[in-house]
Amino acid sequence: MSLRLGKNIKLVYMGVGIAVLTAALIFCLNLVVGGYWDVTADDRFGLDKDTVKWLEDNKYGVNIRFYVSKDLAQKDVALAGYADYVRRLLAEYQRRSNGQIKVSAVEVVPFTSSQTEAERAGVKEFAAPDNKKYVYLGLSFTDENGRTLAIPQLAPERRDELESDITRLLSVLTANRRPRLGILSPYFRAAEQKNPLRYAENLPFVDQLETLGYDVVSLSKTSPFVPEGIDAVLVFYPLNLEEEALYALDQYLMWGGKVMVMMDVLAEERFKEKEMFIGYNSGLQRLLKNAGVLYREDVLAGDNSNSRELMLSGHFIKYPFWLIVTNDGIAEHPVMKGTKKLFLNHSGFFEYTPQQNLRTTVLFSTGENSGALPAVKAINLTYDGLLKDYLLTDKRYPLALLIEGKFKSLFDRPIVSSAQILAEMPPFLSLPLKEGTLLLVGDSDMAAAALWDAKAGQKHDAFAAATLSDNMRFIESALDYLTQSGYATVARKPDEKPRLNMSDVFYRLAAGVYQPQKKAIADELAEIRQQITEAKERLAALALPSAKQIKNLEELQRTEADKENELRRIAYLTEERYQNYLSWFAVAVIGGLPLLWVLLVWGIYRIYERRVRRRAEEYVK
């Protein structure tokens, strides 16, 4: 009896030990291959509840084609791992869609029909490392009517935005109509060039809005009315707006229109044209005052705690006018959905008095440790001047307001007398017909790519930009709210819970080796770039620069290029060390764990064999 019990106990313990060791082996192999099974705390392949709801409600069929190079693993191991992640995420879309979403994969082989098909579908070749050619990883979406949209390149840097991108494109493709967005701005000149913004290299947000599902049209500053069929108006950096534009906006609100205004006390884009600072005048003061709002067009908002670094007079300081708005300054409102961090440069602020029939919401604001500075003093600011002139007020400044309700008209009659124009205009309203919406933002620079695209300066693509902040997400969400677009928006997956992924651990270890050297070079590069900026400003102020001054600038630019090459070299060494760490770990796991597994099973067997033998000897005695 005792011998049989001891034998059963031995088998049970051996079974448990083998199961535990097998699970450990699978888990370690999972870490080597990059976590292909969903064992992480953040449910990496699970879909957001808003995506699931959209998929359940969707009644339109969409085919998703996943174009991926056949030999991707040989060309880029990291990209191949990301491709596997995309494949599994797409499988979830198909599983949750009640048969409406079909997913198929197309292996792209160079110089074949598959490559031609991928490029016709809008998928573009990657700039692969080591100059390897013909690397493809992208998505194409086609609806029942043959309309097609695409994500040309699935950039791993945009991993946290991938679900948002896919869901957005699906909703854009299945929408009954694209909302029409009118833009009123001195920067918007659609008739002059393909890209409607004069500063297209740094303000590509209009192209982004078109990709995200908006039909963008230009509005004339001299037209006294907003054309019929415009779902919302974006007034981008209003500057000396004329009476006609003011009248058009006023009447548009009377008819229940939706208006978003991005103002700016000190627009940095304006000074790219080397304009002198002569004070800002939006031309909208009367319209704002009528809604109980005051925008100080000569004062900057500052925040001591929530700001970014700048070199000023040889000092690296937290520059209070380069603002960071985080959770404590962001309201809980549908407009701010998914917004966690905003960057603003030289923003103005709002003061408001509650008005009858109007509801006012502060969408985001500075922190509690804030202050103000006259805008004119920020032009030639020094470190000592900042300490002297910056007035700390220790209160929050509203940076964005949402005003909803029935607005009062500024006018008591039409401002035009032409019978032809009056016939084209909507009838004049002195009292509101419907509730309108006015969304005010204190900084237009937040739309500049440098503040939301981590790769600003390179070619911009709506689905390739590595997210630096939530600026673009805020603009998108605000316009979705105003137009009631119905487009599906999904908050990007949070990184608050660390993923259990040895790949990340090894990369941090590799980066840590070169971090001191990288930081020193980055600091030197920032200082050199500051010197280049100052040198360019001095040259621009001179009618005839000297050869010595030009030579000095060229020397600084050569030094800048050298420092950039050093940073690229460090990035290469970091990647090389990271790959070595992965290789060593893979060898240890694949070669060592099976041996350890065998030894431990044998050890468990020997331990419990001795235990049973001792019990048998005791029984005999």
Which residues make Cβ contacts (< 8 Å) with residue 397, sequence separation at least 6? 301, 349, 350, 365, 366, 370, 372
Structural domain includes residue 377:
no
Same-domain status, 6 and 96 = no
The CATH number given to whatever domain includes residue 447 is 3.40.50
Kindly report which listed range (91-100, 181-190, 302-311, 395-404) carries the lowest average pLDDT score: 181-190
pLDDT of residue 19: 63
pLDDT of residue 188: 57
601 phi, psi to nearest 5 deg: -60, -45
Q: What is the mean pLDDT of the chain?
A: 81
Residues 159-171, mean pLDDT to the nearest whole number: 91
pLDDT band per the 50, 70, 90 thresholds, residue 578: confident
Kindly report which listed range (213-222, 331-340, 516-525) carries the lowest average pLDDT score: 516-525
Same-domain status, 186 and 61 = no
Same-domain status, 99 and 23 = no
Structural domain includes residue 58:
yes
CA-wise closest residue to 314 among 415, 249, 242, 382: 382
Tokens of 302: 């500052």
pLDDT of residue 130: 55
pLDDT band per the 50, 70, 90 thresholds, residue 278: low
Kindly report which listed range (71-80, 563-572, 604-613) carries the lowest average pLDDT score: 604-613
Structural domain includes residue 86:
yes
Query: What total number of domains does the chain contain?
Result: 4
Structural domain includes residue 343:
yes
pLDDT of residue 359: 95
The CATH number given to whatever domain includes residue 119 is 3.40.30
Predicted confidence (pLDDT) per residue in 432-441, tens digit: 999 999 999 9
pLDDT of residue 194: 45
For residue 370, list its beta bridge partners.
303
Same-domain status, 5 and 121 = no
Structural domain includes residue 489:
no
Burial 567-599 (b: 16+ CB within 10 A, else e): eeebeeebeebbeebbeebbeebeeebeeebee
Same-domain status, 513 and 593 = yes
More confident residue, 391 or 335: 335
SS (H, E, C) 125-174: EECCHHHCCCEEEEEEEEECCCCEEEECCCCHHHHHHHHHHHHHHHHHHH
pLDDT at 510 exceeding the cut of 60: yes
pLDDT at 350 exceeding the cut of 80: yes
Same-domain status, 352 and 458 = yes
Domain boundary among 116, 143, 170: 143
pLDDT of residue 42: 40
Q: Which domain holds residue 451?
A: 179-296+330-367+397-483
Same-domain status, 188 and 120 = no
Same-domain status, 287 and 428 = yes
pLDDT of residue 449: 82
Domain boundary among 143, 168, 201: 143
Under 8 Å between Cβ of 76 and 114: no
Structural domain includes residue 148:
no
Same-domain status, 234 and 95 = no
pLDDT at 186 exceeding the cut of 60: yes
Same-domain status, 76 and 1 = no
Under 8 Å between Cβ of 284 and 241: yes
pLDDT of residue 585: 77
pLDDT at 107 exceeding the cut of 70: yes
Same-domain status, 420 and 475 = yes
Under 8 Å between Cβ of 106 and 70: no
pLDDT of residue 75: 78
Residues 562-584, mean pLDDT to the nearest whole number: 79
User: Which of 2-6, 193-197, 260-264 is most confident?
Assistant: 260-264
pLDDT at 223 exceeding the cut of 60: yes
pLDDT of residue 13: 56
Predicted confidence (pLDDT) per residue in 581-613, tens digit: 877 777 776 676 667 767 777 777 777 777 777
Residues 554-559, mean pLDDT to the nearest whole number: 86
Same-domain status, 468 and 529 = no
pLDDT of residue 81: 84
More confident residue, 528 or 270: 528
pLDDT at 49 exceeding the cut of 50: yes
pLDDT of residue 270: 60
Structural domain includes residue 154:
no
pLDDT at 479 exceeding the cut of 90: yes
